[in-house]
Structure 1
Amino acid sequence: MAYQQMAKLYDKLMDAAPYDQWDEITREILNQASISVNQIVDLGCGTGQITTRLAQSGYQMVGVDYSVDMLSYAEQRASEQNLSIQWINQDIRYTEGIIEADAVISYCDVINYITTEEDLNLVFANVADMLKDDGIFIFDIHSLNHVEQDMVNQTFATVDEDLSSIWFCSPGEDSGEMNHDLTFFVKTDGDSYSKFEEYHHQKTFSVGIYQTLLEQNGFQIKNIYGDFSLNEEDVHEETERIFFVAEKRSIK
């Protein structure tokens, strides 16, 4: 899934996304970490909305994304803000060349695009290789309940003068699996519109599966949070977005 034509519209489509909350919760978690955090790797960084926010806070940022087009917009954003950020075009299942990072983050459902346990294992192993001992890994996912109750078998639509979209979310074969069929109508010249389509495939697993795979790859679960709250009690049946905070075990 390379986002293709969607890249140039992504920021407009995500205009209401809670980027400031991702930025804030990251800084709060890292302030509580057992190590001093300087370098952060942002996996699935997209157009760099979160990456640049953290860079503005003084972190040394590395942004990784599979889409060259997304990275192009990210680089432009960083340049406009006079931020020095390293951008890397790689599939997060097969990353290489990044080592000794203090923290790795992956937000906005990026991990939900990893739809098999085998690929999740690859990603978690790669993250462990990127991190120094005691390094922090933070990521979020859609909860199973949110997927099954609020997303699958639903149709979503947005209508704007310059951009409209229709999004069909259908269930996959397994619990937590969903297929997104999106159609966009983009205004071109005058009253003309250009139509294009995107297909996205996501899956969310139980909390237990993520925990098991993290532990198998040398991580210790530090906390599990819900919906941008650092109160552990806020993880419950109605939680929509679950945050995992894991620490790479020291081998010393």
Structure 2
Amino acid sequence: MVSLIYKHFASVYDRLMKDVPYDEWAQFLHQAIQRYGNGGNRVLDLACGTGEISYRMAELGYELTGVDLSGEMLAVAQEKMMKKGFDALFIEQDMRELKGYKPFDAVLLNCDSINYLLKEEDVVKTFQAVYDHLNRNGLFLFDAHSVHKMEKIFKHAVFADNDEDVSYIWKCFDGEYPNSVIHELTFFVNNGTDYVRLDEDHYQRTFSISEYRHMLEKCGFTIVDITDGIFQSPDIEQAERIFYIAKKS
């Protein structure tokens, strides 16, 4: 079982993520696909969430399919895509067990979604599933929290925010595995008349650059680039988020 199933989070996710630079993120992915890809435009947005990246990639001319474990998230993504005038397929499925698709030219796994897999065997299983669903010279592009972020920024930290629509308290604790953390989240959501409390626990784990490299190569990928992407840290080992670009030969 994947360590996260969004119960209530879909209803507040976009409001909490409103400061994420999705436009720049989509442009980064687009430029990487144009630079390193095979020229095709079939893209799978894996763990697509509410579709913020999905519809932006559709706007850039890609034929989009979205997969997520949360039906609630997919419903939001589908509505956005329809409002934008795009026809896209969204399917509720575990990213470790992809099946039923024609090969893609690129697979995206954004917003540290890979970090919700706590066991190395599940990461490898996901990488292999992606590899098996790519065309020749297809790209796999994903990002992950750095070890530095897990150990030095998240652990034992408390974050809080208070605004008119959504307020939250976010506490971080040591997880069971190396380089893992438990996010204890409490939201207070304004429903128009009063505030509703929602509670969620999220479990994340990351691996070092060398460990991710080894797992990718184990599945047959060739590493094209490892970068801090749009966030421009002077030292990638100290970057909070690391982007991996791998190719199926």
| Secondary structure of 1:32 counterpart | helix
User: Offset at 1:227?
Assistant: 4.2
Q: CA–CA distance in 1 between the matches of 2:235 and 2:131? A: 26
Q: CA–CA distance in 1 between the matches of 2:40 and 2:160? A: 40
The correspondence for 2:158, drawn from 142, 155, 158, is 155
Decide whether the 8 Å contact of 1:177 with 1:202 is kept in 2.
yes
The correspondence for 1:4, drawn from 7, 31, 36, is 7
Decide whether the 8 Å contact of 1:98 with 1:130 is kept in 2.
yes
Decide whether the 8 Å contact of 2:37 with 2:137 is kept in 1.
yes
Aligned to 2:210: 208
Question: Residue 185 in 1 paired to residue 188 in 2?
Answer: yes
Describe how 1:57-206 pairs up with structure 2 within 5 A: 57-190=60-193, 192-206=194-208
Aligned to 2:30: 27
User: Offset at 1:240?
Assistant: 1.1
Q: CA–CA distance in 1 between the matches of 2:169 and 2:244? A: 31
Q: CA–CA distance in 1 between the matches of 2:235 and 2:195? A: 43
Give the partner amino acid of 2:216: L
Decide whether the 8 Å contact of 2:227 with 2:236 is kept in 1.
no
Question: What is the number of residues matched between the two proteins?
Answer: 246
Describe how 1:223-234 pairs up with structure 2 within 5 A: 223-228=225-230, 234=234
CA root-mean-square deviation: 1.5
Aligned to 1:240: 240
Give the partner amino acid of 1:210: Y
Distance 1:164 1:34, change over 3 A: closer
Decide whether the 8 Å contact of 1:30 with 1:37 is kept in 2.
no
User: Offset at 1:234?
Assistant: 4.7
Q: CA–CA distance in 1 between the matches of 2:228 and 2:159? A: 24
User: Offset at 1:110?
Assistant: 0.4
| Secondary structure of 2:96 counterpart | coil
Q: CA–CA distance in 2 between the matches of 1:32 and 1:186? A: 42
Give the partner amino acid of 1:14: M
Q: CA–CA distance in 1 between the matches of 2:189 and 2:32? A: 39
Q: CA–CA distance in 2 between the matches of 1:182 and 1:209? A: 29
Give the partner amino acid of 1:144: V
Decide whether the 8 Å contact of 1:105 with 1:138 is kept in 2.
yes
Aligned to 2:17: 14
**TM-score, normalised by the number of residues in structure 2:** 0.95
User: Offset at 1:161?
Assistant: 1.7
Q: CA–CA distance in 1 between the matches of 2:24 and 2:128? A: 27
User: Offset at 1:85?
Assistant: 1.0
Identity %, equivalent residues: 38
Decide whether the 8 Å contact of 1:114 with 1:203 is kept in 2.
yes
CA deviation profile, 1:145-173 (whole Å, cap 9, x unmatched): 11111111100111012211100111113
Q: CA–CA distance in 1 between the matches of 2:74 and 2:236? A: 35
Q: CA–CA distance in 2 between the matches of 1:161 and 1:35? A: 46
Give the partner amino acid of 2:102: I
Structure 2 segments unaligned to the other structure (5+ residues): none
Q: CA–CA distance in 1 between the matches of 2:88 and 2:170? A: 33
Structure 1 segments unaligned to the other structure (5+ residues): none
Give the partner amino acid of 1:226: D
Q: CA–CA distance in 1 between the matches of 2:200 and 2:115? A: 17
CA deviation profile, 1:7-53 (whole Å, cap 9, x unmatched): 01111111111211210110110111251031110011001000000
